Structure 1
Amino acid sequence: MGKNRISHDDTHFLHSYSPIFSVILSVKRWLLTLLLVLPGVLSAQIGGRHVYSFLNLTPAPRAAALGGMNISTYDHDANFAYQNPALVNDSMHQQASFSVANYLAGITYGYASYSHTFEGIASFHTGVQYLSYGKMTEADVYGNQLGTFSASDLAYVVGGSIKRDQFRFGANLKLINSNISRYRSHFALGMDLGGAYISDKGNFTAGMAFRNIGFNLSRWRVADGESTPLPLDIAIGISQRLEHMPLRFSITVNNLQTPKLIFYDKNAPPEFDLSGEEIITKFPFFDNLFRHFTFGTEFLISQGFNLRAGYSHLRRQELRS
């Protein structure tokens, strides 16, 4: 009397939904790990003061055409695993890719990758991202030219993902190097953590990524002696393919760790109007909000020919200034 009893229906309910419960527990453990790791990293992020910014360059033409940032497109393209490691999957098995692009003023960058799946274990990928600054003139403190020198950045990436029902969880590890001619090289270790949900038919995908978590092995220091962190980026995104049309739309929201993306120089002298009143700088709310958003769309005409378009409000505003 007064004791709780579990009926046959209750037992059937628990057995039917046990996979969902196990996924929820896996997600909770994954989020707990992030909560333990991220606080120290988040506190170190100061707008405009980080190193190895080349890690945020778009790795391949397809991602560039979709606005430069996409963490939710789930298909056979291994390059998406660079921005979200959870996206590497068995459809990318033994796929290799290489891309190179001219950036600005003789600067070139590129990315090469290879993916491999071990059946029943996990899918893996490895890659190299590089940025070459080209030849530059070397001079002494008096302006006398001494010749030329070069500089480059490199990131060696290895990562993988596992599948749990309709979820995938992945991680990238990065060894990062910055080299200036014969002078000292700098090294850092970085990590990306990612998750993705894929619907039954694969038409809808949601992704989340914590990119460039890490630390310097050799210190870069700014003028005031403060060390500089890696360019952390927290992003979420969704992709939806229409059921009866060859169209896929993607929305990515990134830089969530930095609410204000409009640059404001705190050391700039105040400005005054004609009446002598100080001009208070105001940040347009919607301008700042949409700097976090990247929109992309794909017209999937055939396996070998697609049309893509993307828009990044942050890039548009930065190119205007």
Structure 2
Amino acid sequence: MRVRRVIYICFILLMPLSVFAQQGGEALFSILNLTPSARMNALGGHQAALYDNDPGTALFNPAMADSSFHKNATIGFSPYIADINYGYAGFAWHVPKTGTFFGGLNHLGYGNMIMADQNGEISGTFSAAETVVFLGYSKKLSPLLSAGIAFKPVFSSIETYHSWGIAIDAGLHYRSHNERFHAGLLLRNAGRQISSYSESSAETLQPDLQIGASLKLEHAPFRFSLTARDLLSGSLDYEIPDNEYGITVPQPESADAGFGDLVLRHLVLGVEFVPSDNFYVAGGLNPRRRQELKVDSKISTVGYSWGFGFRIYKFHFAYSSARYHLSSSSNYFSITTNISAF
């Protein structure tokens, strides 16, 4: 009862007092919105009910960690976009009658950029990077329901400017008796900036409330996943504000989007072909990504993602690719193993 009471109190404390829509490009600590799992990236990037004993899924929803994660370790790398590189590592440890503890590290390097003044005079180069540390705990509240929480100190540097803050994730995970149906409730990235880049006041992070479910068919090797995200943001419609440099930017078509289109932007859909526990092929659709990053003259496969995973000996390899724009895709590679097997 004590653990359950603590989890409920955490949810109450993490619920924001006000809700504002968040425009693309204005997010603080962008690394917090990236997906630390190759399999989840293949399913559209956000799946609150994805159950896999890869610690990368626990870094997304802390309630996923359980006894099957004991001594599991994972590392992943993504040559993200352009010269941006993204990597993560995670590890989990289960303590009987206490719960499952896990930790991890995400790092995002933006590469070297040209340093110039307002007149275009180049004076050198500079770099930028962001790092997140994960410290999490999960415990079963009943045979079918588990809860978890993760604390995430995040550090950011741009040239000689530095900032850091703390984000918190809290989640619930339900599984059916036959384990074909899973459901998840997740509040991600609730917290605030502790130290800003300049003398300006610290900002509050924009939390993301997600609800998801997955279902594996009884007589066919397919699993379907659906997650509703950004449920605290209201409408995801936005307009690009005027800028001080006199540059005209075409407005997105989202200003004229219908109700159905705006609803779809809150959803992420995924499907998997899982003939055995040692192999899968997955695909996903992120409608918001597709609508916001498309080029009207040629939409192509923007917003779609795919991937596969397989087990060889004591290692589970996974790969996924997500199309963000006509000119670029992100690729994820990960390896998971259990250290007790050696």
Asked if TM exceeds 0.5, the reply is: yes
Quote the offset at 1:229 in angstroms.
Answer: 2.6
User: Following the alignment from structure 1 to structure 2, what is the Cα–Cα distance between the partners of residues 36 and 144?
Assistant: 49
Partner of 1:13: none
Secondary structure in structure 2 of the residue aligned to 1:297: strand
Q: What is the correspondence of 1:1-321 to structure 2 with a 5 Å cutoff? A: 26=4, 30-31=7-8, 33-40=10-17, 42-43=18-19, 46-48=22-24, 49-165=26-142, 166-181=144-159, 183-219=160-196, 227-265=202-240, 281-321=255-295
Query: Cα deviations across residues 234-274 of structure 1 (Å, max 9, x unaligned)?
Result: 00000111122221111000000012112224669xxxxxx
More strand by share: 2
User: Following the alignment from structure 1 to structure 2, what is the Cα–Cα distance between the partners of residues 290 and 45?
Assistant: 16
Q: Contact (CA 8 Å) 1:111, 1:127: kept in 2 or not? A: yes
With over 3 angstroms needed to count, the CA separation of the structure-2 counterparts of 1:37 and 1:319, relative to structure 1, is: closer
User: Following the alignment from structure 2 to structure 1, what is the Cα–Cα distance between the partners of residues 292 and 256?
Assistant: 18
Quote the offset at 1:291 in angstroms.
Answer: 0.4
User: Following the alignment from structure 1 to structure 2, what is the Cα–Cα distance between the partners of residues 258 and 220?
Assistant: 25
Quote the offset at 1:301 in angstroms.
Answer: 2.2
Q: Contact (CA 8 Å) 2:128, 2:158: kept in 1 or not? A: yes
Partner of 1:276: none
Task: Please provide the CA RMSD for this pair.
Answer: 2.4
User: Following the alignment from structure 1 to structure 2, what is the Cα–Cα distance between the partners of residues 304 and 294?
Assistant: 25
With over 3 angstroms needed to count, the CA separation of the structure-2 counterparts of 1:58 and 1:46, relative to structure 1, is: closer
Among the aligned pairs, what percent are the same residue? 33
Aligned length: 282
- Using the size of structure 1 for normalisation, the TM-score is 0.81
- Using the size of structure 2 for normalisation, the TM-score is 0.76
Quote the offset at 1:97 in angstroms.
Answer: 0.9
Q: Contact (CA 8 Å) 1:179, 1:186: kept in 2 or not? A: yes
More helix by share: 1
Report which of the two structures shows the higher radius of gyration computed on alpha carbons. 1
Structure 2: where are the runs of 5+ without partners? Answer: 244-254, 296-342
Partner of 1:11: none
Structure 1: where are the runs of 5+ without partners? Answer: 1-21, 269-280
Secondary structure in structure 2 of the residue aligned to 1:83: coil
